[in-house]
Amino acid sequence: MDKIDDIARRRKEVHAELQSLGSKVYDAFLHMEAAAYADGALSTKMKELIAVGISVKADCESCMQWHIDRAARAGATMHEVLEAVEVGIEMGGGPATVSARFALEVMGRVFPG
């Protein structure tokens, strides 16, 4: 199992554990997440692309894996995701280019070939 698969697997495990424990805070977070990414003035796809750029800037590998996948599921193309990654690079300057390397690995998995 590689790093990207491990991140996704671990997220699912912790998600299930928090739900089984009846975490009210986690439940509230899930409701907030659903509201934040629902179509509104901005489409879900656009919001996920914004989250991709923020994830690169924040150097959050789990966030990059999640939001790149979600952006693709919302209809984003590889080039749209790449532009979101590029915005994250610009917002983070040099250090964000290191995070962008991981985002590119995830993109290779989500958009093979």
Helix (H, G, I), strand (E, B) or coil at 54: helix
- pLDDT, residue 97, reads 87
Instruction: Please enumerate in sequence order all residues whose Cβ is within 8 A of that of 20, keeping only pairs 6 or more positions apart, or say none.
Output: none
Give per-10-residue mean pLDDT for the chain (113 aa).
92 96 97 98 98 96 97 98 97 89 94 90
Task: Please give the structure tokens belonging to residue 9.
Answer: 């697997």
Buried b (16+ CB within 10 A) or exposed e, 3-37: ebeebbeeeeeeeeeeeeeeeeeeeeeeeeeeeeb
Structural domains in the chain, CATH included, are 3-110 (1.20.1290.10)
- pLDDT, residue 98, reads 87
- pLDDT, residue 70, reads 98
- pLDDT, residue 94, reads 84
